[in-house]
Structure 1
Amino acid sequence: MLLPLALGACAGMGDGTQGRGSARPDLPFIGTVWAPDPAAPAAASARLRFHDDGRMSARGPCNRMFGRYQRGVDDLEGSLRFGGIGATRMACPAAVTDAEMDLIDGLLSARQALVDGNRLTIVTAEGGRLGFKAVDDETAPDPGSDMQ
């Protein structure tokens, strides 16, 4: 069963995610597997991936999430908007479900995504910041392999 959380239009994408202070090269926004950082205990195993066709896929500790995103929607460096995010509805402990919903709510209010080395910062419309780090973990779920 799917829970539609938001609907919206999708448009063309641009990039513009160049790091400013990192000593290492920026990882690509698209294709990299990102994990929340610092990870809240209930969402520690969440994984997120942006695909080059405008899809986003994620796997939390309990549910799978998916949606559409667009880049370059305005003059803001690294601008990012989501056209909609949906999720499965598995029976999970309330703390886990709440953590996943907080992640979805943060993504839905995204206005900017900046990559600096192996870190991704998503800035929300309210000025909040969601931090992510790139993960290279063969045991981590691949959110893009089974979501279309």
Structure 2
Amino acid sequence: MLDDIDRRILRHFQADPSLTAAELAERCRISQGVCWRRVEKMQAAGIIQGQEAVIDWAALGYAVEVSLRVTLDKTQSRAFDEFTAVARQVPEVIELQTFLGRVDVRLSVIARDMSHYQQLYRDRILTLPHISDIEALMHIARVKSEEVLPV
């Protein structure tokens, strides 16, 4: 279970993962050794799973984002596994989620423009295995995108 010091470490670490151990310890008002041991303990427990760079794909020229809701042909026993294995290989698929319900899979797809998206859709998406139905939702605006947990 996390105590107040662990939560403080996580709050500061989430706010700025580039902090050095000394800076993190100073902000948490604990010694560097204590801070480092607690971070290592949380890493070993799987609470802290790593750090990642967040890249603004729009700044790299990707202006279109589409959410695709996919229903699979569930008469095929390996439909989920085969679909997700092939979908993972499409570089423009930036997120893949599976669901229980009417929609089986949601793909987030990025493209440089509508022409690029149309090409991706025809050549890569529609050729994915076991698609029974597909619905496209054009992304308009990101209202909230937050990875920080309330600890």
What TM-score does the superposition give when structure 1 sets the normalisation length?
A: 0.29
Q: Which one has the bigger helix percentage?
A: 2
More contact order relative to length (CA 8 Å, sep ≥ 6) = 1
What TM-score does the superposition give when structure 2 sets the normalisation length?
A: 0.29
